[in-house]
Each structure stands twice: as structure tokens, then as C-alpha cells.
Structure 1
Amino acid sequence: MSSNDSQANVTPGLGWLLASPIGRVGREPYWLVLFLVWIVIGIAINIWFGSMDSDVAIDDLNLQGFVESNPLFPILFFVLQWVELALVIKRCQDIGISGFTALLIFIPGINIIVVFVLGFMPSEQGPNRFGPFPNSYYRRKT
């Protein structure tokens, strides 16, 4: 174990994976958490469709109606967006690029491409400035 490894968290928890933008994340946990986020979004949309009248036309569907159908949906989507952003930042850092690149997920059309490209790019071999290896991060010196 090198001196840098002693200053690293090599066994971060689920809270770090879902909420923290600090560190590196490998491809497997990246895809697993993204699928979880997409499943939760799918369930929310299914609940919305289930709560609508059957005579509503597809043309009448809009974001405002979705948000108004359940007051918890905006909170849910804010949390899910944060989870996705934190995950994409860590994935960027894992391949050795700045986490600011993750802001591309807020550009419609480009966001899907960015998420998939990052998911297929291999991790940077060895330590980088964000962590000693995938699924880890350096601790701040106190």
C-alpha cells in the first residue's frame, strides 16, 4: 500500500455512489445506478399514466400536468437528476477528464450521447488526480 492509498477511501459506500461527485466510478456501478434511475423514472411515468383519465389525448400531455399529478414528482426528479449528475461527474473523472464535462447532460440530444459514451469508455489505468483506481476517491488532508 503506497502513501497515497492510505489517504484514499478505497471502500466508499452507497451514499457516496448515489450522492457524491467526488472520486471515480467504474463502468459496472455506473450502468447499474443509471438503470436504477431509469427504472424509477419509468415507474413514476407509469403512475402518472395510471392516474389519468382514459379519454385524455396524447397531444394534451405536458410537463405541467405531470408535475401537478403528484406533488412529490418534482422532488423525485430533482433527486434523480442529482444522482445522475454525481455519477456522470465521477465517471468523467474516472476516465481522466474534468467533471465539468458532465454539464453536457443538461443539453438535450447531446445528453444521451454523453451518458452512453462515458459508459463505454474504459477507466484510466492506475491512479489519477481523482482517486487511486475506479470506485475510490482521495480523502482531503486534515
Structure 2
Amino acid sequence: MAAASDLFYRFGYHNVGTEDIAKAVGITPGALYRHVRSKEELLASALSDSFERATIVIDRQLPGGFAAVVGDLAETAAHRRELGVLWTRETRHLHAEYRTPMLERFFAFLGNLTAALREARGEL
């Protein structure tokens, strides 16, 4: 997923083939297809992984409260800069079967972040 994310980020979804992804991780395209059904599934998995990581940060109780959660999210975003680009630029390439759950996860993440903010800073 990391190799696919990086290639999609640098070259764009349509400019990357499964052969490129397989080569980046040192396997054959056939071996790649034993793990995923399609390039689209790789994109969906990469995005899903990013929401999972962000949700874990929000759901766990960090010493330092909400400020620590925001710091952790910012650190993750700084190390995984491609995720924002993939979300804004490449999700349009996902068919509804992948895009709909992705949107649901995004809005669930946003809801959890908003709830945590309200709890920490209700006056806002």
C-alpha cells in the first residue's frame, strides 16, 4: 500500500500501472494480484488505512488531551503527505463500491474529531 500510495501521489493514478507498483516492491504483477484484485482496490486500501490510523489517534486517550490528539494527527499528516493529495485528487477514480464506504469513513472520522473538539473546547 505504501508503494502504491507513493506512486499515485507522485505520478497520478492513471499514470501508474500495476507493473510499476509490483516493481517498486520487488515482485511480479502476478504476485501482486494474489494480494489485491485491482489497482483501484490498492487506492481504496491506502485511503482506508489512512482513516484507520487517524481514527485510532482520535479514539485513544493521549496524555495532554485534545492538543496531543491534534499534534499526533499533524505529525501523521506530515509523515504521510500523500494522503491529502490522494483524497482530494484521486478518489474520483474510485467506483461507488469503494467511494461510498470511503466517504462514510471520512465523515465518521470528521464526526469523531468534532466530538473530541467539543468535549475539549465546548466554547468553540
TM-score range for the pair, normalised by the shorter chain length: 0.3 to 0.5
Which protein is bigger by CA-based radius of gyration? 1
Greater share of helix: 2
TM-score where L is the length of structure 2 = 0.38
